[in-house]
Structure 1
Amino acid sequence: MARFRGSCLCGEVVFEVDGPFDKFLNCHCSRCRKASGTAHSCEVIVKAAALRWLQGEARVARFDLPQARSFATAFCSRCGSPMPHLTRSGREAIVPAGGFDQSLGAAPDRHVHWASRADWYVHGDGLDIED
């Protein structure tokens, strides 16, 4: 089984994720765009048990958007780096792909919420599109 380590920008928070990943996607919903400040978030989805905190879990702050059925974000309270978090059901973990410290040997395999994408985003990577 492959293990992938990640951390925040300041190094206070360190996590580990067991592979393989269930999903590897680019999410274009307006909430992910606001949370990331980019055209889309790039996320790895794994079973909750595949995520382990190695250091600094207490530094991770979580924000659950009250009016959303399932949207949340997590970040290092010191440097603001996006951090993994469990879904509200607790069954899966959403891991920002940019937080990994090594090559993943994989790439996103789909775009989701494509209909919500930013009008300035130019698609050209050949990934499948889901709405």
Structure 2
Amino acid sequence: MTIHSGSCLCGTVRFEVNGKFDSFYLCYCRRCQKDTGSAHGANLFSQSASIEWISGTTAVTSFTLPGTRHSRSFCKHCGSALPNTQIAGLLVVPAGCLDTDISLLPTARIFTCHQADWSKQPDGVPAFSDLPNKQP
């Protein structure tokens, strides 16, 4: 069985996911942009995997947008996104909270009609493997 481990930024919350992921979506909807403060959400989905919380369960809190199925879980200390089990029968794992590598490539980019113009890869934007020495 495949086991993935993960944690929050401050290390309070640690968990293991046992099983495989069914899909991996990069979501550009406005809700995911607000959730992440970035261009898109990057979430893994599984209907069969289970989660075992290793530590910090009392630090895990969740928010569901009223009137929707849109929910997220996060560490109440550092705010890091964490796996969500708010939708019955579905485990949603933010890809960035995993400490182990995943071999699954994104299944699709969804809600691209909401993609922010600044997140589209323009020609001529420099790329750095680390923080650049000089700021523009």
TM-score calculated relative to the size of structure 2: 0.82
Separation in structure 1 between the aligned mates of residue 19 and residue 106 of structure 2, nearest angstrom: 14
Separation in structure 2 between the aligned mates of residue 38 and residue 84 of structure 1, nearest angstrom: 18
The answer as to whether partners of 2:12 and 2:55 remain within 8 angstroms in 1 is yes
The answer as to whether partners of 2:21 and 2:49 remain within 8 angstroms in 1 is no
Separation in structure 2 between the aligned mates of residue 85 and residue 25 of structure 1, nearest angstrom: 15
The answer as to whether partners of 1:44 and 1:96 remain within 8 angstroms in 2 is yes
Relative to structure 1, the CA distance from residue 123 to residue 46 in structure 2 (aligned partners, 3 Å threshold; closer, same or farther) is: farther
Q: Residues 57-116 of structure 1: CA distance to partner in whole angstroms, max 9, x if unpaired?
A: 111111110132x1011110011100111143x110111100011211222121111222
Larger radius of gyration: 2
Separation in structure 1 between the aligned mates of residue 44 and residue 104 of structure 2, nearest angstrom: 10
Give 1:48 deviation, angstroms. 6.2
Runs of 4 or more above 4 Å deviation: none
Unpaired runs of at least 5, structure 2: 123-136
Unpaired runs of at least 5, structure 1: 125-131
Q: Which residue number in structure 2 is paired with residue 24 of structure 1?
A: 24
Q: Determine whether 1:36 maps to 2:36.
A: yes
Counterpart code for 1:9 = L
Aligned length: 122
Choose from 102, 105, 113 the match for 1:104: 102
- Percent identity reads 37
Q: Residues 30-71 of structure 1: CA distance to partner in whole angstroms, max 9, x if unpaired?
A: 000001001001111112652221111111111110132x10
| SS of match in other structure, 1:67 | coil
Q: Which residue number in structure 2 is paired with residue 91 of structure 1?
A: 89
The answer as to whether partners of 1:48 and 1:86 remain within 8 angstroms in 2 is no
